[in-house]
Structure 1
Amino acid sequence: MDNVYDTLLERGYIKQTTHAEEIRELLGKEKVTFYIGFDPTADSLHVGHFVQMMVMAHMQKAGHRPIALFGGGTGMVGDPSGKTDMRKMLSKEQIEHNVNMFKKQFSRIVDFSEGKAIMENNANWLSKLNYIDFLRDIGVHFSVNKMLTAECFKQRLERGLSFLEFNYMLMQGYDFLELNRRYGCILEMGGDDQWSNILAGVDLIRRKEKKAAYGMTFALLTKSDGKKMGKTEGGAIWLDKEKTSPYEFYQYWRNVDDSDVEKCLALLTFLPMDEVRRLGSLKDSEINKSKEILAYEVTKLIHGKEEADKAKKAAEALFSGGSNMDNVPTVEIEKAEINSGIVDIIVKTGILPSKSEARRLIKQGGLTINGEKVTDANAVITNEDFKDGSMLIRRGKKNYNKVVIK
């Protein structure tokens, strides 16, 4: 049987480990319970979380048991890792709503039936803690000097780090200890920005329980230029189809740089690595076939085969100059809104999030209506722009929206 550690290594997931040989040996000989934490700061997971969901799926397929830990408790504080500013505080109701949305998205990739995987919420223990008991029991094991050298705090110290956030590392370390006691969880995994927090939990279990515990981080999903993947001019690429339509989601992967195709196929699909390498090595116009396969496979995983088929057909219809626009993302406007400015319509329908972004796109020559480039940001939309009751807006080269009158 293949060792999942080798699979993760070959596909490019693993960035750092606390004990590489021991972890590989463990994963090869016994069923390991591991966890990954997700703070519910939004009502949908995004592309950045997708890598971690894929790791969970690979681990589960190899017989290991995942715990998806939702941070109902830590979400009340906010993780300072990778952030230059303090996160905004969410209410308990918002956090609960976000956790419920996450659960739906997770279930597409990870099988939670019959105890094969566990969903937990750290509010179940963090919200009941007695502060003095926690300080005496857990705080005593943390060195402030050591904490201040952690990468997650270094960036924030210059700008100002609140005591609230300083507690985050203790809370995450305690999560690992609690999951170890409840479920025998011995491995914490997460994005590489979580390395310091993971080390804190590994160390806490060794001190409190006198047992071995392990940590592993994954490379963050970045483009070849080093920037985080999953952002467009319209904002983040979400896994919720109400926030990012399956067509837009498909188009995002269809348009990745040639140099990122192989990495994305390895990290975000289950295609065999021989096929991944073959598709990644194609050149010039041939690489477009690889991008279509990438877009289809990723969309199918997140939104299901039916939505992936629709997105593929819509893309093919538009790029071949076809007239079938049934599957193109569609927005509606009231009849009374005709004769409004194009910028107002784009923002009101949610095609772009702000007027400044809409104006910038027009200035850059990146907006067309029914195939005609828009050059004036003050242009007004009239009845004549609606052919057979609809108007086709294109952003950049490949992002389309159909606007129809209610």
Structure 2
Amino acid sequence: MNALLDDLAWRGLISTTTDEAALAAHLDEGMVTSYVGFDPTAPSLHIGHLMQLILARRLQEAGHRPLLLVGGATGLIGDPKMTGERVMNTKETVAGWVESLRDQVSRYVSFEGANAAQIVNNLDWTAEMSALDFLRDVGKHFSVNRMLARDVVARRLDEGISYTEFSYVLLQSLDYAALHERCGCTLQTGAQDQWGNITAGIDYIRRTTGDVVHGLVTPLLTKADGTKFGKTESGAVWLDPERTSPYAFHQFWLNAEDAKVVDYLKIFSSRSRDEIGELEALTREAPFKRAAQHALADDVTDLVHGVRAREAAEAAAAALFGRGELRALDEGTLAMVMAELGAVELGPVDGRLPLVTEALAASGVVPSRSAARRAVAEGGAYLNNRRITDVDARLDEDDLLVGRYVLVRRGKRTVGGLIVP
């Protein structure tokens, strides 16, 4: 096997390829131009997309040239979902999201050197194509019978699927053909659910040019119980720090299951086989140390948000639970933490700041004022990591971090936040 494919397979980045031997020979011939597409269906990518960005990055590091397609055209249509018809966004909204995604994807590849990456937009070759040209030049090469047999289409037939979404596969096939013609692209990569679209494009290129091109898809990422990876109670884990803070992002990876953390390290970290092997042994022999989780969280947060943001996230986590100095955190970090805690506003009444027991109850760390009084009496209530022993204690101005935030805690792990306007 080609050395690159061998490494990708070891890291769990290959689910299926069109012809592994042919692809290996092709990669051995010299620089290969590949592409992966991202449709702007939201203003940010999430960690499900990160796997594809890392694959593009690994291909480039091995000497190949990545094209990152942001689908200004396909984003207007929407790849069919198993669960039902997509809501179409306005052209203006999609155009704005295209620019956001262009900025995001550009951070994971290099735009210098002989194999410099390129960002492309499929609106460039579809916007001026007439409906007649599309039907004659593209649609003519697709069998409705084969399109109906596609898994997502077959599942949607009972409830209905629009012609718009039914036709999506033609647009993605056109993308591969356009990039093959314009840029010499001979490899398309994507997630496992894109296999049907990728093979359709390969077949379209073969029918129209006779050329042989390739496809590679990554497996579906799952948790140990088989459920989808990358979701929290509040939703997807986004790459945009405004949607998922670096603190929450770092915490997400820290919470990786022992049974899956090594798999995630192989995919998302650039550590060597030996380093990952050592972390795997530590996870097996001393799981309480969570060494692999810390390595994973640090590596992925460094990649997505940078070292400084990761260090701030670590400092915030330490300070939250009394292992660091809260007052050393800057206002931005405190605001990020308060947002993740779901901090509530609790203002002065008659010019007086609230009682600590009121703060404990309002934050939700205890269910009631009476429970707050018991927590104080039992020695388990904390204000800004300072134990409170007086049930009648009241906040004062010195307790307000950067003039407006308060951290309250019940015991070791139950933490809440308040914003004093």
Give TM-score, length-normalised by structure 1: 0.84
Aligned ranges 1:156-235 → 2 under 5 Å: 156-235=156-235
Q: Is the 8 A contact 2:363 2:417 kept in 1?
A: no
Counterpart amino acid of residue 367 in structure 2 = T
Q: Residues of 1 paired with 2:59 and 2:219: CA distance?
A: 17
Q: Is the 8 A contact 1:385 1:391 kept in 2?
A: no
Q: Does 1:136 align with 2:136?
A: yes
Q: Residues of 2 paired with 1:57 and 1:12: CA distance?
A: 15
Counterpart amino acid of residue 292 in structure 2 = S
Q: Does 1:388 align with 2:390?
A: no
Q: Residues of 1 paired with 2:323 and 2:254: CA distance?
A: 17
Q: Does 1:108 align with 2:107?
A: yes
Aligned to 1:346: none
Aligned to 1:245: 245
Aligned to 2:52: 52
Unpaired runs of at least 5, structure 2: 349-359, 373-392
Aligned to 2:97: 98
SS at match of 2:35: strand
Q: Residues of 2 paired with 1:113 and 1:145: CA distance?
A: 45
Q: Residues of 2 paired with 1:370 and 1:322: CA distance?
A: 24
Q: Does 1:300 align with 2:302?
A: yes
Identity %: 40
Following superposition, the deviation at residue 37 of structure 1 comes to: 0.6
Q: Residues of 2 paired with 1:123 and 1:98: CA distance?
A: 13
Following superposition, the deviation at residue 197 of structure 1 comes to: 0.4
Q: Residues of 2 paired with 1:268 and 1:398: CA distance?
A: 29
1:210/1:27 CA distance change after superposition, 3 Å: same
Q: Is the 8 A contact 1:246 1:308 kept in 2?
A: yes
Following superposition, the deviation at residue 133 of structure 1 comes to: 1.6
Of the two, which has the highest radius of gyration?
2
Following superposition, the deviation at residue 388 of structure 1 comes to: 1.0
Aligned to 2:354: none
Q: Residues of 2 paired with 1:32 and 1:295: CA distance?
A: 32
Counterpart amino acid of residue 110 in structure 1 = V
Following superposition, the deviation at residue 2 of structure 1 comes to: 7.1
Q: Is the 8 A contact 2:2 2:27 kept in 1?
A: no
Q: Is the 8 A contact 1:187 1:214 kept in 2?
A: yes
Counterpart amino acid of residue 242 in structure 1 = E
SS at match of 2:128: coil
Q: Residues of 1 paired with 2:409 and 2:192: CA distance?
A: 36
Aligned to 2:293: 291
Counterpart amino acid of residue 158 in structure 2 = E
Counterpart amino acid of residue 308 in structure 2 = E
Number of aligned residue pairs? 371
1:393/1:196 CA distance change after superposition, 3 Å: farther
Q: Is the 8 A contact 1:152 1:196 kept in 2?
A: no
Unpaired runs of at least 5, structure 1: 341-367
Following superposition, the deviation at residue 112 of structure 1 comes to: 2.4
Counterpart amino acid of residue 221 in structure 2 = L
Following superposition, the deviation at residue 3 of structure 1 comes to: 2.4
1:155/1:392 CA distance change after superposition, 3 Å: farther
The counterpart of 1:318, out of the listed 317, 320, 325, is 320
Q: Residues of 2 paired with 1:214 and 1:262: CA distance?
A: 29
Following superposition, the deviation at residue 393 of structure 1 comes to: 6.6
Give TM-score, length-normalised by structure 2: 0.81
1:90/1:112 CA distance change after superposition, 3 Å: farther
RMSD: 2.9
Map Cα deviations across residues 248-300 of structure 1 (whole Å, 9 max, x no partner): 00000001111111011011110112222321232344451211111111000
The counterpart of 1:373, out of the listed 365, 371, 377, is 365
